[in-house]
Structure 1
């Protein structure tokens, strides 16, 4: 055990020094008594010296620590004094404020207040101490005998109203106390989430306003005031200078404006600025301000204003004869909430059915309008659709008149056949569109089915072979009462669908004779159609995603056109199908007897007339499309005829004048530029050069145009112009 172990670190400096001095004295005494033990005495002396040195060092350290501690205590006392001084200054500053002031923490506990806070309720002043909660504070106020409650209002009612106002953090509320004393209470949030309350005594202001109002109001005005104060709308009246002339209590409640802004003479701009400071100017409120600020007469304005606290106000503004205006405010929050809840609940089945029926009717109307728009578009676009097709057919016919080797001629014939199919498709589509619009009717007559079915081999044989299918079309001598154009379109679509959807096997087309009818059937060995999807395949733009339909183009219109065409013709349409085995589509039409002239073959499209038959013919071609004119000139020249072309009436007159002789025939397009038409050109040329044979070339298939052309003794050729018909017409006109 060392000598220092007897020292207790907890001892103070004086006690520790005393112990050390006592130890040194004992050691010195032992040294003196034991002089004969020189070595041991010397060692004890050295120990005493070391202990004394350590005592001195420890003493210095302790003195330094005490000095540091004393300095820190001095600084702490200075800071505490400074804080107390600042708090005293803040308290003095708050006491200097004329209004009552209180600061609450984010936990709604009172942090500090001045002596004026709660001065109007001295009976509860002792309860307003730091730490009290806001709810306890207003509960105490609600039970104060100095609080003036409204008639029929109890302390609990006032407490609930005050807490609601606090939760919504309204800008200003006014509280009445006994003795006709009024206090305006303002609440504002602090950055840390707490809030400050400012109480302003506005008793004198309220009394002055009341006195002024009482002086100015006569009996009638009092009646009006009573009426205004008892209606549910808030009303405020402004004069021609946009200054407040009056308002009712309901307006103050709805807008929550401080009384300083409700005095007579306050400008509308001041009220708007206050609302802007509360973040309630924008959108509809801005529309109201713009209406007020405009000069001159104002039309009545009605709008809906949503306040920052969620209240919805129905606002109506109207100018009065002296140039001022009246604004009324109606709280429709409850009505809007009720309407919203009613819509969300869909409380009765009858309402849901009515809504669904209305939706379905609207959808049906939209579909009808879309269908009518599509029909009108197709009918109006017929000219533009058939113009390039007409030019192409003219060029192909001209090409066929040249010297071609067998392969080239076969290719030209296939191209011609393809364009014939396109022509038939477009023609049928346009006719169906006219049927949708009620503008055309099928032309039903006895038709040899062989004439309709034979071309199907040529048209679809190559495509079927390419897909590895066998296409078999069984010849028939039967006749049917139908429209050949529509029936051809029906068969083309049915065969095209069968080839498109069949993976392997064959497609069979044939005719069955029934009692008084014929049934044309198209069989395939395709994937079949599920029973639940049979009704869908006739919808526009619907394609079943199975089979090999992705290998061939199509928009899902084929079967929709088949169904419409059959309906227009009155023909029966049936579908039978088995998934994995194939399908059968059948069309039933009335059986017809062959006419007496049925054996007579139709005149060929062209080629039989000798080339020199048209060599002396001069034709004037009028068309606003340069490509169509070029195609027509090429075709006429290949037949040996002479031709000149023009884009309109003026060019046609100049061309005829340059020829020096009248043309033998006029071939005029119906639709020309600048609103002119081919009949006008033909009439003008005939007026200049006499009765010249003429033909009108058009995509318009309407009966009205045919009647106009017949009245003008003009033949009609529908686009695309069949070269055979054109050549036959020219052969009749050509000079002998």
Structure 2
């Protein structure tokens, strides 16, 4: 049999006093038992010893229980104090909420009403008895939606209002107004708490809304007075109609412009009445009539603006504008534009006079320009012809002088012969330069850019100038370069020849370096020298004809044409030309060319080609089709000055009729693109070629669109853009054969 433990004799749920009494009773019972038992074999002593130990344990446990009891008493006291404070705080919170002017309610996280004050729901008397703790939020919304004090919006049912209210409840913060009966308003502010509850605050904003409404009414009245005053002071006649086409506003100016007594205007007057008055008293402008205006007024929202004219009597012209308003109504305004039209007519007359004067002056300037161009061309042709003719006898003279044996002559005669040869060589170089300048001035220089290997240009120049540089004690270095560039080989050689020749001529000591640098897809040719350099102020002047910085132009030292030829040839070839120079340190002329991947050049170095002279454009018949009379007349005069016979017509139909009438096809057609409503110039050329074969023709137009350019390229028709380049046109006409035939 197992002896029960002492701990099982005590119930932990008993109060400390009860547990102590039980321990004392146990101790007394044990003492009595010890005293009654004999002392055989020391058992009595052992039992006594155990009893003493048990008594000590009971005493210790009793002390622990007493301390625990004291702590329990203290905890109960603090708990009671906390309960009293909590109850006081609850009462204070309830009192504070009750004193709030707004209605207040708190729903817990479970959507159940926790508390509210007496003002919550005070505006809905049929709801107050149900606002008690435990009321669910859905039940609260349902009762509010069916309250007889709630003024539902038009067309909305209580169920619709409840659905919309629950949707708003899903937001963490929401503020909205609720309209009640008797024109009262509540502002409902709803916010979520941190634990998921909901606080609802109701504020009576009836007075605020009524004040705002009154203020808005006063503002509208003020605006109406301002608008009325504005309408009465503007120069336009204005009438305003609402969405039902009823007159709601007008000004006095409207009656003056339409000759309608003001007594005829009244609020609510239908638009049809005014429209009938307009139809009988005025005349609508082009594109507008009473039926069209009535259809516009009756159209649904989204109507476009209307602009039209009406005339009252023989003199008064009114500009009418109709525009839709946001409410579906519209505003109709009338502006007197009679003075503007009169001024416009006067301006048009003045403009026509000015255009006639401008055309007259333009023709005079064209005549003067043509005279100047003819004079310049004559001078250039004379220089070219004279230069070309003089080169022949000069070359013969050089040969004759060279055939004289210098050994058989006296020293003085031999020296004279040498000087004569040098002089003839200098004159020959000057005439060649003059010939190049004349070609560049008259635009007769024919360039042919092709792939060119630079070594084919640089190597001969190295050999040409090596002896001259050595005679002056200069070191000439021409760096080899196998790159292939796009250029005209003859003129590229002439450009470099002039640049190297100038560098050698003006450099007294040091060196001349010619080389090429690669820069991406470009090659930059450089001619560097250690000469005197060129001041920045003189760097533009050196490219002028007959200009030298250190001395006047002379036959012995050069006429100053080399750089002029370089600049104009570079411009014709599209090679950018640059210059870097500093006085006393030398100069560097730079020429930029496009590099190509072509393996070999197409042409070896050659002498500069002499361009074939352009033939005269005369002895031809040109048919000019131009619908602008002044421009047609000016072009006829220009063509006739070139010795060309001209037929002209103002339209495609007139041109076709004239060709059939005279029975002769011209050599070439010059056709304007814009020929009126019949057909375009491109269509006319296609029609002519379809009837009479592929005749020479060009298109004259101011249109610079890519589509027209592509159409002209596809049809093989040249295109001249206005203003017309007379030289380009003359050159193109001169390149055509004269093949006049009968139709």
Q: Could you say whether these structures have the same fold, taking a TM-score greater than 0.5 normalized by the shorter chain as the test?
A: no
Q: TM-score range by the shorter chain?
A: 0.3 to 0.5
| TM-score (normalised: structure 2) | 0.35
**Greater C-alpha Rg:** 2
Bigger relative contact order, structure 1 or 2 (CA pairs below 8 A, ≥6 apart) = 1
| TM-score (normalised: structure 1) | 0.35
